[in-house]
Amino acid sequence: MSTLTFQGAVGEVTGSRYLIEVEGEGDGEDRVYRILLECGLHQGGKEADEANEAPFGALAKQLDAVVISHGHLDHAGLLPKLVREGYSGPIYCTRGTRDLLEIMLEDAAFIQAKDVEWENKWRKRNDKPLIEPLYELKDVERTLRLCKSQSYGQPVQLPGGVTLVFRDAGHILGSALVELAIPSGGQVKRLVFSGDLGNPSSVLMKDPEKLYEADLVLMESTYGDRDHRPLEETLEEFAQVLEEAHADGGNVLIPAFAVGRTQEILYHLGVLYHQGRLRQQMVFLDSPMAIKVTELYHRARKNLDAEDLKVLNIAASGDVSRYLPVLRMTRTVEESMAINRIHGGAIIIAGAGMCTGGRIVHHFRYNIEKSSTRLVIVGFQAGGTLGRQLVDGAERVRVLGHDLQVKAQVHTIGGFSAHAGQSQLIGWAGAFRNQPRFYLVHGEPASQEALKAALGETGVEAEIPAFGDRIVL
């Protein structure tokens, strides 16, 4: 019988990892094939760091294949570590995911190198043992060479007689629902993994595909306890925050989720600009990675929602300046530092999305103690992150060695989420026929319990697995 073991993203949103073991024949004798579904980075605090540092052990060399749903680091950010520890087999993903991984994993390796360099300077001074990064650029390069890109709807044969098909998840560029047909006990069992299910209200992405046949479904539950506000109300609130910031003479800080969210925010700023409602005359995209991703979205615009692109007449052109002329892309450190001389009237979109590092924390240092500043949170903030502290109303925060008083007005605008809300998750789950087994992953406990109860009211029974749980397919 084939089995699935939950190795990550259980009881938490990040760190996606599921091990599938398939009994089959190889070289004339019975053997077990091992397929790793996702290889994600844990995000948020010391426990996450410890989980990321834990070695894969023998698994790295035992695996026959890896399957990745999309390019966000919490789903794919440990791939180079897996390769560093000995994995050399195929990594299956969509073309969009492959292109995003090149940007995101290289950026992650660069940040780790800088962090380790600073940490080891302190350790040398204090006679402490030196540390190493999770992986380096050479590991990323080896990882990218292992990637095998597949189109949506194209069946692919994996080791052990498993068949893989990707479907459009509507979350970010290249994001996929994962369908796996797995031999088990003389039958073929169909496993469906939602990955991150997209929000149909979001712009740029197509709606998530609905599937109808499965024996077992792994479904994300990030926003399982609530629905997002209607997009119209969200945009009106966003516009009002920008208007108030302009009236108060302050800057607007938006922590940038480089993939998906940043491009959506730029789109809406473009709409406001052409409506004559964007009073700010300076919009900075202060994230080298987000700039690269934005340029990738433009190159891959044929895969985006054509109706959304028509709104700004950008279907035929990849030139961002056509729809947001006040946008300035700051690639260098010097350009980023120069923004701190601007004391009002600017919108600053900077990484990282959960405020765990990057350029946004430097802008905090110069802006967060001003009551005229608006901090706009447009994405999920994991427990243990600086972003979560700010959302939860922290009055003081520690930033770059400085104890700062939070005087900025913090606005959480959840309607921009690229994740499905509770009703959308229930609707997607309800399309399956014949009552497959549901397991809720990628959610904090309260969200999962709320979604489990809501699903139960519609006749869908779901379970909440724990780390290390192993089930028979």
**Coil/strand/helix, residue 374:** strand
What string of DSSP letters covers 103-126? HHHHHHHHHHHHHHHHHHHHHHHT
Tokens linked to 187 = 């039958």
Residues 377, 342: contact at Cβ < 8 Å?
A: no
CB count within 10 Å of CB 410 equals 18
Which pLDDT score is estimated for 403?
Answer: 94
Instruction: Output phi, psi for 396, to 5 deg.
Output: -140, 145
Which pLDDT score is estimated for 26?
Answer: 60
Indicate the helix (H) or strand (E) that contains 472.
Answer: strand 470-472
368-413 tens-digit pLDDT: 999 999 999 998 888 888 999 999 999 999 998 899 999 999 999 9
Whether residue 309 is predicted with pLDDT greater than 90 in this model: the reply is: no
Beta bridge partners of 193: 178, 218
Q: Which CATH number fits domain 231-416: 3.40.50.10890, 1.10.10.60, 3.40.50.150, 1.20.1050.10?
A: 3.40.50.10890
Whether residue 116 is predicted with pLDDT greater than 50 in this model: the reply is: yes
Q: Residue 315 — pLDDT band, cuts 50, 70, 90?
A: very low
Whether residue 92 is predicted with pLDDT greater than 60 in this model: the reply is: yes
Query: Quick one: average pLDDT of 242-248?
Result: 97
Q: What CA–CA distances, in Å, run from 256 to 46, 380, 381?
A: 22, 11, 12
Q: Where are the domains of the chain?
A: 3-226+418-472, 231-416
The CATH code of the domain at 3-226+418-472 is 3.60.15.10
Which pLDDT score is estimated for 79?
Answer: 98
What type of residue is 76? A
Beta bridge partners of 147: 91
Q: Residue 243 — pLDDT band, cuts 50, 70, 90?
A: very high
Q: Which of 14-28, 103-117, 151-165 has the lowest mean pLDDT?
A: 14-28
Tokens linked to 434 = 């014949």
Q: Which of 65-69, 201-205, 367-371, 381-385 has the lowest mean pLDDT?
A: 381-385
Closest CA to 178 of 169, 186, 189, 187: 169
Which pLDDT score is estimated for 316?
Answer: 45
Beta strands in 335-383 (DSSP E): 346-350, 374-377
Which pLDDT score is estimated for 320?
Answer: 58
Helix axes 445-457, 422-429, angle to 10 degrees: 50
Kindly state the DSSP code that residue 445 receives in the 8-state scheme: H
What distance in Å separates the CA atoms of residue 405 and residue 162, rounded to the nearest whole number? 55
Average model confidence (pLDDT) for the chain? 93
Query: Quick one: average pLDDT of 94-113?
Result: 95
b or e along 234-265 (b: 16 or more beta carbons within 10 Å of the residue's beta carbon)?
bbeebbebbeebbeeebbbbbbbbbbbbbbbb
What distance in Å separates the CA atoms of residue 469 and residue 264, rounded to the nearest whole number? 37
What distance in Å separates the CA atoms of residue 132 and residue 119, rounded to the nearest whole number? 10
Instruction: Output phi, psi for 334, to 5 deg.
Output: -65, -40
What distance in Å separates the CA atoms of residue 407 and residue 371, rounded to the nearest whole number? 5
Which pLDDT score is estimated for 245?
Answer: 97
Whether residue 55 is predicted with pLDDT greater than 90 in this model: the reply is: yes
What distance in Å separates the CA atoms of residue 149 and residue 161, rounded to the nearest whole number? 19
Q: What CA–CA distances, in Å, run from 83 to 48, 311, 396, 468, 472?
A: 20, 43, 40, 22, 28
What distance in Å separates the CA atoms of residue 74 and residue 16, rounded to the nearest whole number? 6
Kindly state the DSSP code that residue 416 receives in the 8-state scheme: G
Q: Residue 109 — pLDDT band, cuts 50, 70, 90?
A: very high
Terminal-residue alpha carbon distance, the chain: 7
- Long-range contacts: 233-241, Cβ < 8 Å, 24+? 233/415, 234/413, 234/414, 234/415, 234/416, 235/268, 235/271, 235/415, 237/411, 237/413, 237/415, 238/268, 238/376, 238/413, 238/416, 239/272, 239/277, 241/374, 241/376, 241/411, 241/413
* 121 CB burial (10 A radius; 0-12, 13-18, 19+): exposed
Q: What is the pTM of this model?
A: 0.90
Closest CA to 227 of 11, 427, 465, 444: 427
Which pLDDT score is estimated for 25?
Answer: 66
User: Greater confidence, 29 or 265?
Assistant: 265
Which pLDDT score is estimated for 321?
Answer: 59
Whether residue 318 is predicted with pLDDT greater than 60 in this model: the reply is: no
What distance in Å separates the CA atoms of residue 424 and residue 222, rounded to the nearest whole number? 12
What string of DSSP letters covers 34-66? EEEE--PPP-SHHHHHHHHHS--TTHHHH-SEE
What distance in Å separates the CA atoms of residue 352 and residue 357, rounded to the nearest whole number? 6
Kindly state the DSSP code that residue 220 receives in the 8-state scheme: E
Sheet holding 91-94, edge to edge: 147-150, 91-94, 65-67, 29-37, 17-26, 3-8, 470-472
